[in-house]
């Protein structure tokens, strides 16, 4: 059995959709599982769609996810170059071989002629039904074709799709798939500038790079008959990789593929990382910058179309490598659910050590002009980490540790404030001042003893204490907060709010 070799073959045309990352992930898992190689190949033959920066961005996204290719434009490898535009000279002989065998032909139709035809004939297809009306070697004959070629007349090479042939292949997810070849048009294989189209390049490169399995999105299924025929004509079907067409990721509401527009409309990211369109300057938010952990992102993507047959939902990348199987990938599309995506992230944040959040915390503090001791920040992280659904929630969840509350939720304390409570807090301040050890356990003990003395219930004084320290009703356990804030700050905050309560009287 030959070594498993799989590839992710994106066109560098913009941001990387989460469906693309899922394709990367499934390729990666399959390669790791079989001790094979995972290749990144940049399919940039369509120069009109080329977007500067997009290739680097793809590599950055893969690096962020921890899905590093074994061979790629950046890392090299034995089967390079890994950018199709740098392989231009490779494809022409294959196209010529197809022409010589009568499986492809030269077409001299100018863009204007094609445009006129499309205007005149609704849904015009360059196919078996129309090819004999066009300016190509099939209609013009050998002598005219030769003359035109000698005069360097601009031309393309098109595949001649057979008329009465059923093309069949076995998809690892869908089983046997059949197409009537004549339903597909005569796709261009080589353009006038001798650059191949995707269809020719993908087949030639999968062959030359010894790809054994080709996994890609379902949207490529209609192109499969063209590819299967090219394999048959050029290299033999026994050499063809095993295909798997991965189910679409669907919009949460309604039907159809999840698009960037759906993300904008519903307020969630669709790209892996922030993407700025170099032409329009338009910025699109990514999962990374929104505060997702790579472990959560890969976990949630794995589950969009696959499960291991049990109820288990949380899988590390290593575990996915063990358990993933293409046979268990669903045929039907998977609806994207952002709330569920956040649930995964929250679960992974809970599993994260304090150090896993330190960098995010540091950059958020810096953003707010806060310079805090690392030790203090670590204590805060330990307390608030599990309350964050997104890494970017850190500031919102922790700001009261770094600056005194700008506002207090007085309405939830004021109406029930009385002299008894006032007296209690006057004495608790005195008691706190005397405390030798400042930790949550001792603070709670002191506080409860004082409550008993004053015949107050927890409900009477715990909420006011929380509002004094936090400004509002949220946050982790209140004595943990006081312990981290320290004696001086805790007492200062209690006093500050008591003053406000007095003033309101």
Binding positions for ligand GLU, rule: CB under 6 A: 9-11, 43, 198, 202, 216, 220
- The Cα 437–Cα 483 span in angstroms is 10
Least distance in angstroms from the C-beta of 158 to ligand GLU: 19
For residue 268, how far is the Cα from the chain centroid? 12
Least distance in angstroms from the C-beta of 245 to ligand GLU: 10
Q: Please, is 359 exposed, middle or buried when counting C-beta atoms within 10 Å of its C-beta (0-12, 13-18, 19+)? A: exposed
- The Cα 116–Cα 315 span in angstroms is 55
User: With contact defined as beta carbons under 8 Å apart, do 212 and 39 qualify?
Assistant: no
CB-wise, 29 or 391, nearer to ligand GLU? Answer: 29
Element (H, E) at 501: helix 487-504
User: With contact defined as beta carbons under 8 Å apart, do 427 and 445 qualify?
Assistant: no
- The Cα 303–Cα 311 span in angstroms is 11
- The Cα 95–Cα 52 span in angstroms is 29
- The Cα 433–Cα 204 span in angstroms is 79
- Strand locations in 64-165 (E): 104-107, 156-159
Least distance in angstroms from the C-beta of 202 to ligand GLU: 5
Least distance in angstroms from the C-beta of 74 to ligand GLU: 18
CB-wise, 220 or 402, nearer to ligand GLU? Answer: 220
- For residue 161, give every residue at least 6 positions away whose Cβ sits within 8 Å of its Cβ, in sequence order, or none: 127, 128, 181, 182, 184, 185, 186, 187, 225, 226, 229
Catalytic residue among 210, 257, 260, 379: 260
- The Cα 325–Cα 328 span in angstroms is 6
CB-wise, 98 or 214, nearer to ligand GLU? Answer: 214
Nearest to 184 by CA among 141, 140, 134, 230: 230
CB-wise, 39 or 384, nearer to ligand GLU? Answer: 39
User: With contact defined as beta carbons under 8 Å apart, do 60 and 273 qualify?
Assistant: yes
**Is 260 annotated as catalytic?**
yes
Least distance in angstroms from the C-beta of 94 to ligand GLU: 17
Least distance in angstroms from the C-beta of 198 to ligand GLU: 5
Cis peptide before 232 (omega within 30 of 0): no
CB-wise, 134 or 202, nearer to ligand GLU? Answer: 202
CB-wise, 174 or 379, nearer to ligand GLU? Answer: 174
Nearest to 312 by CA among 328, 290, 293: 328
Least distance in angstroms from the C-beta of 45 to ligand GLU: 9
Residue recorded with tokens 């899922």: 22
CB-wise, 31 or 295, nearer to ligand GLU? Answer: 31
Which residues are designated catalytic?
260
């Amino acid at each position: 059995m030959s070594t498993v070799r799989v590839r992710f073959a994106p066109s560098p045309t913009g941001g990387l959709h989460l469906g693309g990352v899922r394709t990367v992930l499934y390729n990666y898992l399959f390669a790791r599982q079989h001790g094979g190689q995972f290749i990144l190949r940049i399919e940039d033959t369509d120069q009109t769609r080329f977007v500067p920066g997009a290739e680097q961005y793809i590599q950055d996204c893969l690096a962020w996810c921890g899905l590093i290719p074994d061979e790629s434009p950046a890392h090299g490898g034995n089967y390079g170059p890994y950018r199709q535009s740098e392989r231009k000279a490779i494809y022409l002989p294959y196209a010529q071989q197809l022409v010589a065998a009568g499986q492809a032909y030269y077409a001299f139709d100018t863009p204007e002629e094609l445009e006129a035809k499309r205007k005149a004939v609704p849904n015009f297809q360059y196919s078996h039904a129309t090819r004999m009306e066009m300016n190509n070697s099939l209609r013009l004959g050998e002598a005219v074709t030769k003359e035109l070629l000698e005069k360097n007349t601009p031309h393309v090479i098109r595949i001649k799709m057979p008329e009465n042939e059923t093309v069949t292949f076995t998809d690892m997810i869908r089983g046997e798939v059949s197409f009537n070849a004549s339903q597909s048009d005569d796709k261009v294989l080589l353009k006038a500038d001798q650059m191949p189209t995707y269809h020719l390049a993908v087949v030639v490169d999968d062959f030359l790079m010894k790809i054994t399995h080709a996994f890609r999105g379902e949207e490529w299924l209609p192109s499969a008959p063209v590819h299967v025929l090219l394999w048959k004509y050029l290299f033999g079907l026994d050499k063809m990789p095993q295909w798997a067409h991965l189910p679409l990721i669907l919009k949460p509401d309604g039907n159809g593929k999840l698009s960037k527009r759906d993300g904008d409309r519903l307020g969630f990211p669709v790209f892996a990382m922030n993407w700025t369109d170099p032409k329009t300057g338009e910025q699109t938010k990514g999962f990374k910058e929104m505060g997702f952990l790579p472990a959560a992102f890969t976990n949630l993507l794995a589950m969009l179309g696959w499960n291991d047959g049990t109820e288990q939902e949380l899988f590390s990348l290593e575990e996915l490598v063990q358990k993933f199987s293409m046979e268990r990938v669903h045929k039907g599309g998977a609806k994207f659910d952002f709330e569920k995506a956040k649930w995964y992230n929250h679960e992974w944040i809970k599993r994260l050590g304090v150090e896993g959040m330190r960098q995010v915390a540091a950059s958020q503090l810096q953003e707010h002009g806060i310079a805090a001791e690392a030790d203090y920040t670590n204590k805060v992280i330990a307390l608030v980490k599990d309350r964050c659904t997104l890494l970017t929630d850190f500031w919102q969840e922790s700001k009261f540790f770094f600056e005194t509350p700008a506002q207090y939720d007085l309405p939830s304390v004021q109406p029930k404030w009385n002299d008894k409570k006032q007296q209690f807090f006057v004495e608790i301040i005195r008691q706190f001042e005397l405390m030798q050890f400042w930790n949550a356990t001792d603070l709670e003990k002191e506080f409860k003893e004082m409550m008993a003395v004053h015949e107050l219930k927890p409900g009477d004084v715990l909420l006011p204490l929380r509002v004094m320290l936090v400004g509002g009703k949220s946050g982790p356990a209140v004595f943990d907060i006081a312990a981290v804030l320290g004696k001086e700050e805790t007492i200062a905050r209690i006093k500050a709010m008591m003053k406000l309560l007095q003033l309101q009287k």
